[in-house]
């Protein structure tokens, strides 16, 4: 059977086997919102998500703040203008070159109070920076915090790169006897920089 046959075969089989059809439901029920989503986001981030959070004032020096949270970092990767980095994910030939990154500094566009998720659209050539770095600093504005995932999905945008991810805290696993361990395969630590 060639490719077209298979596709037609599957679609025909599906069309033939439907007996009764159902409509898409109305989703207008009331969803949980927070009176103060910023406060709720901070709370979720530092508790269940297992991340750190720093509130950044407009005249704070970002580079100094990064040093403050990760004083031992030797290799910093970022493509954000103004961030002092040793590696730039836009100009590397291969993702492997990011392997020894201590701290990756990236930007989030939307943050969600109910679960600590931050939407990070790919804005760099090598998205490995978001996962391979030992620790992540995620910059996100307090103006972009929403209450729940319904609101988040109304807002998220893609760039030309065909990838985006919600990240909520450091990589974790409980695969060995259900004991919670941070730093399974991706970032071991995450610090949210909450900007104005």
The footprint of another protein on residues 61-90 (CB under 8 A) is none
- Among residues 45, 126, 135, 147, which is the contact residue for another protein, using CB under 8 A? 126
In whole angstroms, how close is the CB of 58 to another protein at the nearest point? 30
Hey, which residues between 22 and 51 contact another protein (CB under 8 A)?
Answer: 22-25, 27, 29-32, 44, 48-49
Are residues 189 and 182 in contact, defined by beta-carbon separation less than 8 angstroms?
yes
The phi and psi torsions of 140 (rounded to 5 degrees) equal: -150, 145
- Among residues 101, 168, 191, 195, which is the contact residue for another protein, using CB under 8 A? 168
CA–CA separation, 51 vs 188, rounded Å? 10
Instruction: Tell me which stretch binds another protein (CB under 8 A): 55-63, 68-76, 77-85, 119-127.
Output: 119-127
Nearer to another protein (CB atom), residue 59 or residue 154: 154
127 to 166: interface string for another protein, x by CB under 8 A: xx-xxx---------------xxx-xxx-x-x--xxxxxx
DSSP states of 37-55 as a string? HHHHHHHHHHTTT--EEEE
Nearer to another protein (CB atom), residue 41 or residue 56: 41
Residues 6+ apart with CB under 8 A from 132: 95, 98, 99, 101, 104, 186
Are residues 70 and 104 in contact, defined by beta-carbon separation less than 8 angstroms?
no
CA–CA separation, 150 vs 155, rounded Å? 9
Q: How many residues touch another protein (CB under 8 A)?
A: 75
In the three-class reduction of DSSP (H, G, I as helix; E, B as strand; rest coil), residue 124 is classed as coil
Nearer to another protein (CB atom), residue 29 or residue 35: 29
């Amino acid at each position: 059977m060639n490719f077209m046959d298979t596709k037609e075969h599957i679609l025909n089989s599906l069309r033939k086997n439907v007996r009764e059809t159902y409509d898409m439901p109305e989703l207008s029920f009331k969803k949980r919102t927070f009176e103060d989503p910023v406060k709720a986001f901070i709370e979720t981030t530092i508790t269940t998500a297992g991340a750190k959070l720093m509130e950044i004032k407009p005249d704070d020096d970002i580079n100094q703040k990064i040093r403050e949270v990760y004083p031992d970092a030797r290799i910093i990767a970022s493509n954000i203008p103004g961030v002092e980095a040793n590696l730039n994910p836009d100009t590397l030939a291969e993702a492997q070159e990011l392997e020894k990154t201590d701290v990756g500094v990236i930007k989030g566009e939307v943050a969600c109070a109910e679960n600590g998720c931050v939407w990070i659209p790919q804005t760099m050539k090598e998205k490995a920076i978001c996962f391979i770095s030992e620790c992540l600093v995620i910059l996100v504005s307090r103006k972009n915090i929403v209450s729940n995932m319904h609101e988040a999905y109304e807002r998220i945008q893609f760039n030309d790169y065909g990838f985006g991810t919600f990240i909520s805290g450091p990589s974790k696993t409980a695969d060995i006897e259900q004991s919670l361990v941070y730093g399974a395969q991706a970032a071991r630590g995450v610090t949210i920089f909450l900007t104005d």
